[in-house]
Structure 1
Amino acid sequence: MSEKIRLAAMDIDGTLLGKNKKLTDYTIEVLDRAAAAGIHIVIASGRALQAIPETLCRVEGIEYVITSNGSSVFSLKNQERIFEKDMTSEQIMMILDFYRNYECPMEIFIKGIPYTSEEYFRFPERFGAFGSAAEYVKTTRNPVKDIRAFAMEHKDEIEGINFIMNHMELKTEMREKLEAMGGIYVTSSVPRYIEISHGDVCKYAALKWLANELNICPEEIIAFGDGENDLEMIQYAGIGVAMENGIDRVKKAADRIAPSCDENGVARVLEEFL
């Protein structure tokens, strides 16, 4: 491995995983080889810890997982939350007050566990989640009867909130209002989501914290991503890599473009440094 690269950070959906949501043997082999060469392998996802694919958690070379768009960093070996930046109770109250005017599903993340309403959990197709997306909801979310009351009860320990959108016009309206509130981080990893965290949170901030803990400078980091929530991380890394299937904004900010997630793009670029 190049002496410059000491840490490789990578998104999951649309980056490590393609349309079939499976990690290929080739990618696992390259990640293990990189780790054996002394590179810290870090997953950086909008997912909560409980929603990280089991196949990824079993890859021996992966040490750390940045979750909930940077609200948490977990040591994968012992499942310990080593960095946390939850939303404040005031932010939660502000968002719940805003949410009174809308009927879209809501998800909340608490200590790595994602919760959502029973209706969305049972019938995700009603809200635009079909096929693998519907399966993802049913296998990773924990249903509660009254998600608003549940959020109120846990307002002091929420990592982040997702709103699930089935109509893009409504998403635009809600996002503009949320961003106008200030003090919160608003992003979108996939078109159906509005993702909200503390204003000091993003993948870049969590990655910077972890790099400082490991005494690694930005020039020694390579980062891979495809979506809006990967932008700051791509800009921070010494080598920012956007996937061919990524959005234009991320590709313009990147130092180079990798083959698509369906072509083992992460592994093919990372292997160049081996």
Structure 2
Amino acid sequence: MQKIKMIGLDLDGTLLNDKKELTPYTRQVMEEAIRQGVTVLVATGRPWMGVPEFLKSFPGMDYALTSNGARIVRTQDGSVLMEQLLSRDKAKKILEICAKYDTLQEVYFDGQGYAEAEKMLHVERYHHNPNMWEYIRTTRIPTEDIFGLVDRESRSLDKVQALFADLDERARAWKELETLEEVEIVGSLKYNIEVNAAGVNKGSGLVELGKRLGIEREEIMAFGDGDNDEPMLREAGFGVAMANAEEKVKATADYITGSNEEDGVAKAIERFVLEGGEVC
């Protein structure tokens, strides 16, 4: 039997409900886990600037794993604890492939997302979830020329993302991207593609952070619902999939909890962490 000392939480479709809210019940359970000495952190594909303010300032939450693990920051000041970045040249190749299709492309530098200005005017064409439209508009900096931005920055970056208007085009782009070496390709949504440097995923990031904090892999619990959560659920000592998770994510998990609309995170933390604190 193993006591849980760290909990990694995906945001969209997991910790947050469909309205992108943290319910009072889930907040209370998180606060109690922290009070009992558990390290609780978000583990998201979002950049640092895309993490909601109520989680950045959550009492006792000291770390945030962002951009699928490319950047782990200290929440107190946003300073970088760990980073593993994608090269500029590789990012340009990814953008060139995705630019062949009807996409809204984004790049993340230093925890900030930048998106194509013209496409952002029609975000509803590319982001098929209405609850995410305002999030994109308020957390991305518009740029007229995303290739020019990458050239001007002339340095490595956190991640590249493309949102697709057409799912068949997404499938074709995925096959093209798979021909590239030294990249990690995932899709947290059915209509997006996220590309990180090779070896970067939520699971490896969470385990490495645990090592730095003296926490063993077996003492880590992780929650998720999407494709980019699968490595985290597999690497963690105890992986929990949401009821609304993709089937392959559920197959990876040690336990399936309620959906993100049913406070599934809170219920599993209560059962396995607060009510005894041990899992098999």
Secondary structure of 1:208's counterpart equals helix
State the shift of 1:262 in Å: 0.5
Q: Which residue matches 2:235?
A: 236
State the shift of 1:96 in Å: 3.7
Distance 1:120 1:130, change over 3 A: farther
1:123-163 alpha-carbon deviations (Å, 9 max, x no partner): 21233445222111111111011112112222413110001
- In 1, the alpha carbon distance for the partners of 2:127 and 2:242 equals 25
Contact 2:116 2:144 in 1 (8 A): yes
- In 2, the alpha carbon distance for the partners of 1:231 and 1:72 equals 18
Question: For 1:214-229, what aligned pairs fall within 5 Å after superposition?
Answer: 214-229=213-228
State the shift of 1:95 in Å: 2.2
Contact 1:203 1:233 in 2 (8 A): yes
For the aligned residues, what is the CA RMSD? 1.5
Secondary structure of 1:35's counterpart equals helix
Alignment pair present for 1:253 and 2:252:
yes
Q: TM-score scaled to structure 2, two decimals?
A: 0.93
Alignment pair present for 1:262 and 2:261:
yes
Q: Which residue matches 2:206?
A: 207
Q: Which residue matches 1:105?
A: 104
Q: Which residue matches 1:22?
A: 21
State the shift of 1:181 in Å: 1.2
> Structure 2 counterpart of 1:259, which letter?
G
Contact 1:124 1:130 in 2 (8 A): no
Contact 1:93 1:155 in 2 (8 A): no
For structure 1, list consecutive stretches of 5 or more residues without a partner in the other structure. none
> Structure 2 counterpart of 1:154, which letter?
E
Deviates more, 1:123-132 or 1:105-114: 123-132
- In 1, the alpha carbon distance for the partners of 2:88 and 2:58 equals 36
Equivalent pairs, count: 273
For structure 2, list consecutive stretches of 5 or more residues without a partner in the other structure. 275-280
- In 1, the alpha carbon distance for the partners of 2:97 and 2:211 equals 37
State the shift of 1:213 in Å: 0.3
- In 2, the alpha carbon distance for the partners of 1:128 and 1:12 equals 17
Distance 1:97 1:123, change over 3 A: closer
- Displaced runs of 4+ in structure 1, greater than 6 A? none
Distance 1:126 1:97, change over 3 A: closer
- In 1, the alpha carbon distance for the partners of 2:88 and 2:127 equals 30
State the shift of 1:220 in Å: 0.6
Q: TM-score scaled to structure 1, two decimals?
A: 0.95
1:92-115 alpha-carbon deviations (Å, 9 max, x no partner): 232244345334221000010000
Contact 2:102 2:166 in 1 (8 A): no
- In 1, the alpha carbon distance for the partners of 2:27 and 2:120 equals 31
Alignment pair present for 1:50 and 2:49:
yes
> Structure 2 counterpart of 1:125, which letter?
E
> Equivalent pairs: percent with the same residue?
32
Contact 1:5 1:222 in 2 (8 A): yes
Contact 2:95 2:105 in 1 (8 A): no
